[in-house]
Amino acid sequence: MPGVFQFSPDEVLKEATAAFAQGVPAVLLFGIPETKDAKASGAYASNGIVQRTVKLLKRELPELLVVTDVCLCEYMSHGHCGLINESHGQVDNDSSLKLLARTAASHAEAGADIIAPSDMMDGRVQAIRQKLDDSGFSEIPIMSYAAKFASSFYGPFREAAESTPKSGDRRGYQMEAGNAEEAMREVHLDIMEGADIIMVKPALAYLDIIYRVKNTFAYPTAAYHVSAEYSMIKAAAANGWIDERSVTMESHLAMRRAGADIIITYSAPQVARWLGEP
């Protein structure tokens, strides 16, 4: 991904400090462990890469809001977002919930301000809410990837985060691109299970979903401007085909217009710089 890199914890601190100074209020952390296995041990290790980075950020830069992505795919040898059941070779929804809840609690333990589950297993918001409450973190909010579509726009992220599934795809747990009603049901379920902020992902090809979700539920709504949306703008700009600044700003404006209260974007430092210019 152009301009996107894997960082060590101390490099994250440097990047986050610079971004915060420019007006970026929050970061969303994704971890890439040194070794992967079939139970995603690195996801919930108390000295895991995300846990160590959260601790460092909250110690050195306490005003920065630290959100952690909760998923298992980056930590799994097979690259799926849940446990694979040996007997049928499919992702096993219910046994994955325990590991996701454990991961969330370990992030909260490290000092995360918001927990953001992106796995799309059924019932995970409730499992995570319960575990956080039982662990003394009843005040930590959940931002759920509620309407997350099985999208080809995640390609550059999977390469950058080394989380491409080794076999099959994610359509067993992520949503069908053409099904808006399912998106509404998924958002409704996540709210009932205790989500505090709901997210629609990707953003630009799904502005209708953002609009419907915001209008129907009137909940804090986040839009995730994903890796290919970002990379396509970068590539076209690098070829001299579009004006990077105005296309980027127009894209972000469109997400706001559709109803997004929060925008998760790889362009955050750049957009903050542009917004700060006279």
Task: Give the binding site for Zn ion (CB under 5 A).
Answer: 71, 73, 81
What phi and psi values does residue 32 have, to the nearest 5 degrees? -125, 110
Q: Which of 13, 99, 223, 226 binds ligand PBG (CB under 6 A)?
A: 226
222 binds ligand PBG (CB under 6 A): no
Q: What is the DSSP string of 206-230?
A: GHHHHHHHHHHH---EEEEE-HHHH
Q: Which of 24, 43, 81, 142 binds ligand PBG (CB under 6 A)?
A: 81
Query: Among ligand PBG, Zn ion, none, what binds residue 149 when CB lies within 5 to 8 Å by partner kind?
Result: none
262 binds ligand PBG (CB under 6 A): no
Q: Which of 68, 227, 231, 270 binds ligand PBG (CB under 6 A)?
A: 227
Please report, as a single letter, which amino acid is at residue 123: G
| Cβ neighbours of residue 16 closer than 8 Å, sequence gap 6 or more | 27, 57, 61, 64
Query: Among Zn ion, ligand PBG, none, what binds residue 113 when CB lies within 5 to 8 Å by partner kind?
Result: none
Please report, as a single letter, which amino acid is at residue 117: P
Active site residue 55: no
Q: State in angstroms the smallest separation of the CB of 166 from ligand PBG.
A: 13
251: closest CA among 269, 233, 235, 234?
Answer: 233
- Dmax over CA atoms of the chain, in Å, equals 61
Query: Among Zn ion, ligand PBG, none, what binds residue 51 when CB lies within 5 to 8 Å by partner kind?
Result: none
Q: State in angstroms the smallest separation of the CB of 83 from Zn ion.
A: 12
Question: Contact 255/263 with Cβ under 8 angstroms?
Answer: yes
Q: State in angstroms the smallest separation of the CB of 146 from ligand PBG.
A: 13
- For ligand PBG, the binding residues in 53-72 under the rule CB under 6 A are 69, 71
> Is residue 276 classed exposed, middle or buried when 0-12, 13-18 and 19+ CB atoms within 10 A define those classes?
exposed
Active site residue 201: yes
Both tokens of residue 181?
């009603």
List the catalytic residues.
148, 201
Site for ligand PBG, rule CB under 6 A? 69, 71, 73, 81, 118-119, 154, 157-158, 163, 170, 226-227
